[in-house]
Structure 1
Amino acid sequence: MAIKIENVGIAVRDIEAAIAFFTDLGLALIGRDTVSGEWTDTAVGLDGNHAKIAMLQTPDGHGRLELFEYIHPEAIELHPTRPNDIGMHRVAFSVDNIDEALEIAAKHGCHPLRGVATYEDVYKLTYLRGPSGILVMLAEELKKG
Structure 2
Amino acid sequence: MTGTTRDGGRPSFTVDHVSRTVPDLDQALAFYCGVLGAVELYRMGPMDAADMPTGPDGRDWMEAHVGVQGACLTLAMIAFGDGARVQLVQYDRPDGRWTEPPLNCDIGGHHIAFRVDDVLAAAAWLTERGCTPLDAIEIDAGPLAGKTNLYIQDPFGLQLELVD
Tell me the TM-score normalised to structure 2 length: 0.71
**Structure 2 vs 1, CA of residues 138 and 60 (structure 1 numbering), >3 Å: closer, same or farther?**
same
Partner of 2:132, secondary structure, is: coil
Partner of 1:87: 108
Task: State the Cα deviation string for residues 101-120 of structure 1 (Å, max 9, x = none).
Answer: 3244223321212x222223
Structure of greater Rg: 2
| C-alpha separation in 1, matches of 2:92 and 2:107 | 27
Aligned pair 1:72/2:131, yes or no? no
| C-alpha separation in 1, matches of 2:96 and 2:158 | 15
| C-alpha separation in 2, matches of 1:47 and 1:41 | 4
What amino acid maps onto 1:42 in structure 2?
A
Aligned residue pair count: 138
Q: Is the 8 A contact 2:132 2:155 kept in 1?
A: no
| C-alpha separation in 1, matches of 2:73 and 2:149 | 33
Q: Is the 8 A contact 1:13 1:75 kept in 2?
A: no
Cα distance, 1:123 vs structure 2: 2.1
| C-alpha separation in 1, matches of 2:22 and 2:86 | 12
Aligned pair 1:98/2:129, yes or no? no
Tell me how large the CA RMSD over aligned residues is: 2.2
| C-alpha separation in 1, matches of 2:76 and 2:125 | 21
- Give percent identity, aligned residues only: 28
Partner of 1:44: 66
Cα distance, 1:12 vs structure 2: 0.9
**Structure 2 vs 1, CA of residues 47 and 76 (structure 1 numbering), >3 Å: closer, same or farther?**
closer
Partner of 1:11: 21
**Structure 2 vs 1, CA of residues 22 and 122 (structure 1 numbering), >3 Å: closer, same or farther?**
farther
Partner of 2:32: 22
Which ranges in structure 1 are unaligned for 5 or more consecutive residues? 141-145
Q: 1:111 aligns with which of 132, 140, 164?
A: 132
Q: Is the 8 A contact 1:127 1:136 kept in 2?
A: yes
Cα distance, 1:100 vs structure 2: 4.2
| C-alpha separation in 2, matches of 1:89 and 1:56 | 18
**Structure 2 vs 1, CA of residues 100 and 30 (structure 1 numbering), >3 Å: closer, same or farther?**
farther
What amino acid maps onto 1:96 in structure 2?
D
**Structure 2 vs 1, CA of residues 74 and 103 (structure 1 numbering), >3 Å: closer, same or farther?**
farther
Tell me the TM-score normalised to structure 1 length: 0.79
Which ranges in structure 2 are unaligned for 5 or more consecutive residues? 1-10, 54-60
Q: Is the 8 A contact 1:25 1:101 kept in 2?
A: no
Partner of 2:158: 134
